[in-house]
């Protein structure tokens, strides 16, 4: 039977964040958790700025808001609504579309879409939790309308390399990266970023994996088997991702962001209670991501 994990309910959320001020207090606590340091001159003394929550450096008079240099930078709608978006994206098992966010929060769909892209930016893997123990790696074509295209022929689809960590009879971690081609360089970059060098890595017999045996001492290559039966857990997880993606009306150019979103939640399935808090912290520590950068 599935073990149930305590989660951060909508009631917990509403109690903790009744208004914009409580959200700003919270961000302020994250921003200056280790004390105040002026980003311009390094001074550690401040006085209150012209508005609440703004800190002013006593030496160079630089004004700083809790949201500056974070993914909340220059958000043009109430912070409480931005918190609701982070809440829904992080805690809904399957995420939430921008159309639904728009209906729930009374914001324009485009506004929700753009801010959600920023949230997804915060969900990018930190690279701090590499796959250990048993790993499986394989590539798959994702997106587009061309079902039935087999092998490594790409068509309009994008090529993605995926990896899982197996634990017991289940899968404990899942990562993916959009790549141009299945070259040893691209496969290797992804694997080195996400898999520990001594993990027991299993791949199919594709030549692109062969040179990687020098980086992964326990890498073995085996035939994929009929319908990929030797990689059944990995393929099951990839199918789950593809099924979810079909319901998201995603744009191919943003595929990596959707992979980040899906794997972020997947990898935190056992830490539901602090997933919201974790994502807020990541958004506060990530570099701002201007809307221009998202659209390009
Ligand atoms: Zn200063």
Per DSSP, the residues of 106-133 read: T--HHHHHHHHHHHHHHTS--S-S-B-S
CA of 56 from ligand 1 middle (Å) equals 8
3-state secondary structure of 189: helix
What is the pLDDT at residue 23? 96
3-state secondary structure of 192: helix
DSSP state of 195: B
CA of 71 from ligand 1 middle (Å) equals 22
CA of 36 from ligand 1 middle (Å) equals 10
Give pLDDT tens digits along the chain (296 positions). Answer: 444 457 788 999 999 999 999 999 999 999 999 999 999 999 999 999 888 899 999 999 999 999 998 999 889 999 999 999 999 999 888 889 999 999 999 999 999 999 999 999 889 888 888 999 999 999 999 987 544 445 445 557 899 999 999 998 889 999 999 999 999 999 999 999 999 999 999 999 999 999 999 999 999 999 988 777 889 999 999 999 999 998 776 677 789 989 999 999 999 877 777 888 989 999 998 877 776 776 55
CA of 185 from ligand 1 middle (Å) equals 44
CA of 57 from ligand 1 middle (Å) equals 5
- For residue 148, how many other CB atoms are within 10 A of its CB? 5
CA of 35 from ligand 1 middle (Å) equals 14
- For residue 53, how many other CB atoms are within 10 A of its CB? 16
């Amino acid at each position: 039977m599935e073990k149930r994990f305590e989660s951060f309910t909508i009631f917990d959320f509403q109690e903790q964040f009744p208004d914009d001020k409580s959200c700003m207090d919270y961000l302020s606590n994250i921003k200056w958790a280790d004390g105040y340091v002026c980003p311009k001159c390094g001074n550690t003394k401040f006085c209150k700025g012209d508005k609440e929550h703004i800190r002013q450096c006593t030496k160079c008079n630089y004004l700083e808001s809790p949201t500056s240099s974070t993914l909340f930078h220059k958000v043009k709608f109430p912070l409480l609504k931005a918190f609701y978006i982070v809440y829904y994206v992080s805690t809904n098992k399957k995420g939430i579309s921008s159309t639904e966010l728009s209906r729930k929060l009374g914001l324009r769909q485009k506004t929700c879409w753009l801010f959600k892209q920023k949230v997804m930016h915060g969900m990018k893997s930190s690279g701090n939790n590499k796959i250990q123990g048993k790993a499986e790696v394989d590539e798959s074509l994702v997106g587009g309308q061309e079902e039935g295209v087999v092998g490594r022929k790409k068509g309009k689809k994008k090529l993605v390399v995926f990896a899982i960590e197996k634990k017991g009879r289940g899968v404990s971690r899942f990562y993916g990266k959009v790549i141009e081609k299945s070259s040893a360089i691209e496969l290797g970059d992804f694997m080195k970023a996400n898999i520990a060098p001594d993990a027991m890595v299993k791949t199919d017999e594709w030549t692109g994996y062969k040179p990687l045996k020098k980086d992964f001492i326990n890498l073995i290559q085996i035939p994929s088997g009929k319908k990929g039966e030797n990689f059944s857990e990995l393929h099951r997880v990839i199918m789950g991702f593809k099924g979810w993606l079909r319901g998201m009306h995603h744009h191919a150019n943003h595929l990596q962001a959707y992979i980040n979103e899906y794997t972020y939640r997947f990898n935190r399935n056992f830490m539901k209670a602090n997933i919201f808090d974790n994502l807020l912290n990541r958004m506060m520590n990530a570099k701002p991501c201007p809307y221009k950068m998202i659209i390009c």
